[in-house]
Amino acid sequence: MKITKPGQKMAEGKTKVVYATEDPNLLWLHSKDQVTALNGKKHDDFANKGALANQISTLLFQYLNDQGFQTHFVEQINATDDVVQKLTMLPVEVVVRNRAAGHFVIRFGVENLQPLNPPVQEFYYKSDQQDDPMINPSQLEALQIATPEESQAMEAQARALTKALTNLFAQSGMQLVDIKYEFGRNQQGELILGDELSPDNMRIIDQATGQSLDKDVYRHDNGDLQHGYQTVLDRLRAQLGEA
């Protein structure tokens, strides 16, 4: 069935609106022009931000699908809207870090951008009220959020996805510093990559200049968010072709 219009609004988050579609297994995702940080405590509207983030995410999901990864991405409708597989999302953020940054630097007092070999993998419990605390597989099991097998599968997938994306960014003159993934179960109970893949949920630096091309410039008020996102989109398009 070709999906041509969104159905009933199911949910609205900080940066996205989720609609049902005529197909019970598919959802319509619309990206808003909002940018948020500090778990929503800081938020602003930026013209064109939804389109930039969504087009980057679309390119990356298409790339991963082509590479044989299982993701929720089905089809792009326009610059801000995609159709995706409906998943039951786990309230877990899976972070992989190629280099130290952000909370890792604060937590361990190491140098910013220090390489991490092998890359570090961490789980966080998604809860604005608790400020997304770090969580481990034993806690995920006891809280019935994920089975040990699912935690293992999320870690393995996150590592493999990061390897593929790190290579893609390197070919495009960019360094992937760290990235956050979210997974959900499909109707068969398989864990599938969902959510989005944009500079909202990863740190990317320009290989040549060291300039930050992601949401960090908004978090720290020290750069032009639109310029960074546009640079990422232009370079990925040059590498992968138009989407």
3-state SS record for 159-209: HHHHHHHHHHHHHCCEEEEEEEECEEECCCCCEEECCCCCCCCEEEEECCC
The pair of three-digit structure tokens given for residue 179, joined into one six-digit string = 């990235």
Q: Residues interacting with ligand 5GP, by CB under 6 A?
A: 93, 95, 101-104, 132, 178-180, 200-203
Distance CA 219, CA 194 (A): 24
Q: Given the complex with ligand 5GP, which of 73 and 104 has the nearer CB atom?
A: 104
CB 101 within 8 A of CB 114: no
Burial class (CB in 10 A: 0-12, 13-18, 19+), 128: exposed
* Shortest-Cβ-distance residue relative to ligand 5GP: 102
Q: Given the complex with ligand 5GP, which of 80 and 162 has the nearer CB atom?
A: 162
Q: Given the complex with ligand 5GP, which of 122 and 150 has the nearer CB atom?
A: 122
CB of 114 to ligand 5GP, least distance (A): 13
Distance CA 94, CA 179 (A): 8
CB of 203 to ligand 5GP, least distance (A): 4
CB of 132 to ligand 5GP, least distance (A): 5
Backbone angles phi, psi at 240, to 5 degrees: -110, -15
Q: Given the complex with ligand 5GP, which of 23 and 132 has the nearer CB atom?
A: 132
CB of 20 to ligand 5GP, least distance (A): 24
Q: Given the complex with ligand 5GP, which of 185 and 219 has the nearer CB atom?
A: 219
Strands lying side by side in the sheet with 88-89:
88-89, 183-185, 191-193
CB of 226 to ligand 5GP, least distance (A): 17
